[in-house]
Amino acid sequence: MEITIRTATPQDATALLAIYAPYIQNTAITFEYLVPSVHEFQNRILHILQNYPYLVAESENEIVGYAYASAFGERAAYAWTVEVSIYVKQNNKKMGIGKKLYQALEKALQAQNIINIIACVANTEQEDAYLTKNSLHFHLHMGYHIAGTLHQCGYKFHKWYDIVHLEKYIGSHQIEPLPVKKFLSMVEKGKQPNE
């Protein structure tokens, strides 16, 4: 399967929602309860792109996954840290899509001078119909390390779930870090995340 990575646009919202909706409706991977409207999802994409990468994976002109970064915290000292999220089409898992998306996302974030990436992954001691440990294992495989666990902090499908915080460094912690660049301005200058 040949996979290409590009920057998302608001016009991708319907296709991205088709990937995301089953995660909301059938899993505890996301703690969101209701599927957002296409308009709301378009606004989410635009909001993220103001500062961070929002990438889609395509195969044979079909979107098969997406990943994005968002602010980890609002205070100025968090500028070099982001939270990342990834969703792959249900019948396209374990085909290397997630790996390619995260590699492109990390490359784009490095170009922005981001140093720390955080993943917040739903977890459970006992796997069930709504949640397995696949996401946790994927992030560990991608070089993330467990930083800590928030126990029973998310309630969905009549069960309490944990959140595992994982971290990865993609840059070095200098005394004077380089300023963080806005992703949209980089895209407007012609730099694509897979270049």
Over residues 29-67, the pLDDT tens digits come to 999 999 999 999 999 999 999 999 999 999 998 999 999
Q: Does residue 192 surpass a pLDDT of 60?
A: no
3-state SS record for the chain: CCCEEEECCHHHHHHHHHHHHHHHHHCCCCCCCCCCCHHHHHHHHHHHHCCCCEEEEEECCEEEEEEEEEECCCCHHHCCEEEEEEEECHHHCCCCHHHHHHHHHHHHHHHCCCCEEEEEEEECCCCCCCCCCHHHHHHHHCCCEEEEEEEEEEEECCEEEEEEEEEEECCCCCCCCCCCCCHHHHHHCCCCCCC
What is the per-residue pLDDT for 187? 66
Q: How confident is the model at residue 95 (pLDDT cuts 50, 70, 90)?
A: confident
What is the per-residue pLDDT for 191? 58
pLDDT digits (tens, 9 = 90+) for 9-21: 999 999 999 999 9
Higher pLDDT, 124 or 189: 124
pTM for this entry: 0.93
What is the per-residue pLDDT for 189? 63
pLDDT digits (tens, 9 = 90+) for 120-149: 999 999 999 999 999 999 999 999 999 999
Q: What is the mean pLDDT of residues 65-70?
A: 98
What is the per-residue pLDDT for 195? 45
